[in-house]
Amino acid sequence: MRKISDTIARLAALQARHAAFPSDLGAPNRLSALARFGSNPGALTAKFYLPDNLPEGAPLVVVLHGCTQSAAGYDHHSGWSQLADEAGFALLYPEQQRSNNPNLCFNWFQPADVKRDAGEALSIRQMIEAMVRTHGLDRKRIFVTGLSAGGAMAAAMLASYPDVFAGGAIIAGLAYGSAKTVPEAFDRMRGHGDPSDEELRRMLRDASPHHGPWPRISIWQGTSDQTVAASNAEAIATQWWGVHQIDGTPTQSLAEGRNARQFWCNASGEVVLEVNMIAGMGHGTPIDKNGYGTPGPYMLDVGISSTQEIARFWEIADGEARPSARSKRGDIVAYSHPPVGSRSNAGPRIPAGSPEESTAPKREPSPASGVQKIIEDALRTAGLMR
């Protein structure tokens, strides 16, 4: 059993990292407030961006910021609204409130907030519906992406509402359902105690009544990420192999500068999954300051614009076509890390429990005393407990 001192030490380290990178409140704000969008059981706020002369039936991209970040700050540093102007799509930015999470993290580790038609997940679904209805957007071209806690929440939205999304992109995120308690959240972030491959796939299948087609998934991860271990990218890929009826062998693997990229195609030759491992990159969103994006906290200039590459993968922005099943299979390059599909079975396997059935409003934590109070105060400061 983990010692209390170890838990407090890890919380303190996480708190120090968050304190060193406050929200970018001074970033230019191109976003407008989405005032009314439904019952909002997750108590979130929402911002949006519409390019001038947006055509009827344009795509919608939902962007989920990371901990300590704001919607406007993430938009400024990622370059999404700049690309939206050029490519012609709408943007929706759900935004966390400190009353829900002190460090503005989406609550991806709370079952009541990631369950279909409940909590924060339902609030985001309501925002999407409001945007589609109000602005005449294309229901068949709705996409979601996010960083870190936002990436984990994007994974939750893709699992809970696969009927809504044509594609998703998870940046330094975690697999849906991989953590249902605060201690599990810490362990999963460090790459410890993941549910089995079978359990991960079962949780995805059970998250909704959907039977396909399934969203296309793009996964991004830094090999030197000390906040969310690189093994989480492998867990996400493993979770989606089942519904896409593909195995662990990539159709094609490419080396593109610092990016070790793997693609999986379905029986029709369509790319349904990709994994991008950025050599030497820490925790954050890959950007290219000479293209789309501006460097900032957790927005890392590695000469790769994940914003542009993700939009190309979804086929809503110009770019080269992705490899297909007709590409020569087996173009495997040398990796400095184990390729996706080589997840170790060593270590404990902790099957996840059933999601809670609550759709109730946010509740204040109950009082605690002594050591328990110290731990709970630290958890709230770290953004892992309400």
Which residues are the active-site residues? 148
DSSP reduced 3-state for 340? coil
- The per-residue DSSP string of 83-140 comes to HHHHHT-EEEEEE--TTT-TT----TT-HHHHSTTSHHHHHHHHHHHHHHHHHT--TT
DSSP reduced 3-state for 237? helix
Between CA 100 and CA 364 the distance in angstroms is 9
Give the other-Cβ count within 10 Å of 126's Cβ. 21
Please say whether the beta carbons of 142 and 90 come within 8 A. no
DSSP reduced 3-state for 58? coil
Query: What Rg do the C-alpha atoms of the chain give, in angstroms?
Result: 19
Residues 6 or more apart whose CB falls under 8 angstroms from that of 71 comprise 31, 47, 63, 65, 93, 94, 95
Phi-psi region of 22 (alpha: psi -120 to 50; beta: other; left: phi over 0): beta
Between CA 100 and CA 105 the distance in angstroms is 9
Measuring CA to CA, how many Å separate 2 from each of 88, 181, 184, 226, 271? 50, 15, 12, 20, 42
Going by their DSSP bridges, the two strands 32-33 and 45-49 should be labelled as antiparallel
CA 329 to chain centre: 29
Amino acid letter at 225? Answer: D
The residue to which tokens 């906290």 are assigned = 297
Largest CA distance in the chain: 63
Between CA 197 and CA 201 the distance in angstroms is 6
